[in-house]
Amino acid sequence: MGMVEFICLMACFMALTAMSIDIMLPALPLIRDAYGLTDGNQQQLVVIIFLVGFGFGQLFYGPLSDRLGRKPVIMLGVGIYAAATTMCLMASSFEMLIAMRFMQGIGAAAPRVVSVAVIRDLYHGRRMAEVMSFVMTVFIMVPAIAPAMGSGILLLGDWHEIFMVLAAFSLLVMGWTAWRLAETRPPEARTPLSAAWLAQAFRETVTNRQTLGYTIAISACFGGMISYISSAQQIFADVYGMGQWFPLLFGLVAVALSIAAIINGRLVNRLGMRRLGHLAMTGFFTIALLHLCLDLLFHVPLVLFVSLMSAQLFCFGFIMPNYNALAMEPMGRIAGTASSFIGAVTTALAAFLGWMVGQAYDGSTLPISIGFACFGAAALAVTFITEGGRLFNSETGNIR
């Protein structure tokens, strides 16, 4: 498998998660009406519960991939995802739909977490960050186009057809994996799956300051992203009266992520993961603080809101690949298990933080700006502590 095909397949593994969230956003009001939900904020559960399942599933797939190999575990997860997606089509109640979204998330966790371990098996250090950035470049295009895809599907049918498209995509990824992906975890490198070994691997992960610190920092920033994603449809429709333009506006903001990922891939070898990541984190917090101050002074107009959110996502496009690579860097021996832990903590904490902010939605953008400012401050503080008070350094080795 060539590098271009490898990057595209890894991006598809990650895109399964992004598509499962973003393609649903235009359909949330229709789902709300179809099941007679009285509280508009309840529609956010279609996104949040998927992420809860996604975080929960990641705890298992990493250790399984360290024991059984990467490829069979990916196939298992995508199979669970395809089955759950099919069940979503037949959900007779909102509760059943939410339960199947939880199972969808559990299935989607496998390709997401194991793909990071596959990349870690093959690449290290700055090269790993570079490959991750190229993967993210392809993957991050999904949030820009998925809402438009969802709207296009809704023009031809209803929200059930969106699940048909997701099922078809998962089967395509499953076939591609079976046919082309080589196993990257040789039998001699596989570790026994035992409670004692899992406890040791977990202890090694949580006691490494670099891994734990960067995991918490990613979680805080990602919490801001989830709060925006889960309430974006309501904000653009209710606050700005631009519901019909939601896919375009959401995609416009998401393009900033793709631009950041492309630039990061070109700069990471020259400047290093720490320097780029720390600069982006400082920018993330500064923009969030500016957004909060403006929100407290006056009603932020649409153009300014889109500009501020684009700037936030631009910074996040640097933070995610570099902080993730820094968290994984010391974990080569237990890459699969470490990737599971990092992914589970990141998603679970981010889903909880995003849910808190999303449920606080009151018809204004103030809850979002407060959330971003608080999460940005926390992430920057954790980064500062993790690095022992030294920011913007070039690579200095693993921090124990």
Tell me: the pLDDT tens digits for 67-81? 888 999 999 999 999
Sequence-distant (≥ 6) Cβ neighbours of residue 67 within 8 angstroms: 190, 191, 192, 193
Nearest alpha-carbon partner for 394 in 282, 221, 273: 273
Sequence-distant (≥ 6) Cβ neighbours of residue 338 within 8 angstroms: 62, 201, 205, 211, 327, 328, 331
* Residues 164, 198: Cα–Cα separation, whole Å: 37
E-strand stretches of 79-220: none
Q: Which tops the pLDDT comparison, 79 or 38?
A: 79
pLDDT band at residue 3, thresholds of 50, 70 and 90? confident
* Residues 336, 43: Cα–Cα separation, whole Å: 34
Q: What are phi and psi of 2, to 5 degrees?
A: -75, 170
> What CATH number has the domain spanning 3-179+192-386?
1.20.1250.20
pLDDT single digits (tens) 339-349:
778 888 898 89
342: burial class by Cβ within 10 Å (0-12, 13-18, 19+)? buried
- Return the structure tokens found at 289: 């603080």
* Residues 297, 24: Cα–Cα separation, whole Å: 34
**Mean pLDDT across the stretch 133-137?**
73
pLDDT band at residue 216, thresholds of 50, 70 and 90? very high
How far CA 266 is from CA of 209, 224, 253, 259, 270, in Å, comes to 28, 26, 22, 11, 8
- Return the structure tokens found at 244: 């019909």
* Single-letter residue type at 11: A
pLDDT band at residue 359, thresholds of 50, 70 and 90? confident
Look at residue 396 and tell me whether its pLDDT is greater than 80: no
User: Where is average pLDDT lowest: 14-28, 37-51, 274-288, 386-400?
Assistant: 386-400
**Mean pLDDT across the stretch 286-293?**
97
Dihedral, CA of residue 109, residue 113, residue 115 and residue 118, to nearest 10: -140
Residue 399 has a pLDDT of 53
CB atoms within 10 A of CB 400: 9
pLDDT single digits (tens) 145-166:
899 999 999 999 899 999 999 9
Look at residue 15 and tell me whether its pLDDT is greater than 50: yes
C-beta of residue 329 within 8 angstroms of C-beta of residue 386: no
Residue 321 has a pLDDT of 84
The domain locations on the chain are 3-179+192-386
**Mean pLDDT across the stretch 159-185?**
94
pLDDT band at residue 394, thresholds of 50, 70 and 90? low
* Residues 235, 228: Cα–Cα separation, whole Å: 9
* Residues 21, 147: Cα–Cα separation, whole Å: 9
**Mean pLDDT across the stretch 324-333?**
84
User: Where is average pLDDT lowest: 22-31, 116-125, 142-151, 223-232?
Assistant: 116-125
**Considering the chain, what is the average pLDDT of its residues?**
89
Q: Which tops the pLDDT comparison, 386 or 66?
A: 386
C-beta of residue 327 within 8 angstroms of C-beta of residue 192: no
* Residues 313, 141: Cα–Cα separation, whole Å: 13
Sequence-distant (≥ 6) Cβ neighbours of residue 172 within 8 angstroms: none
* Residues 136, 97: Cα–Cα separation, whole Å: 29
* Residues 183, 102: Cα–Cα separation, whole Å: 28
Nearest alpha-carbon partner for 239 in 306, 323, 332: 306
Q: Which tops the pLDDT comparison, 188 or 368?
A: 368
Look at residue 383 and tell me whether its pLDDT is greater than 50: yes
**Mean pLDDT across the stretch 29-53?**
90
Look at residue 178 and tell me whether its pLDDT is greater than 90: yes
Look at residue 400 and tell me whether its pLDDT is greater than 50: no
Look at residue 13 and tell me whether its pLDDT is greater than 50: yes
The phi-psi region of residue 361 (left if phi > 0; otherwise alpha if psi is between -120 and 50; otherwise beta) is beta
Place of tokens 């997401």: 112
Look at residue 395 and tell me whether its pLDDT is greater than 70: no
pLDDT single digits (tens) 77-128:
999 999 999 999 999 999 999 999 999 999 999 998 888 888 878 887 777 7
b/e code 85-99 from CB counts within 10 Å (16+ = b): bebbbebeebeebbb
Look at residue 63 and tell me whether its pLDDT is greater than 90: no
In the 8-state DSSP scheme, what is residue 38? S
CA 97 to chain centre: 21
* Single-letter residue type at 206: V
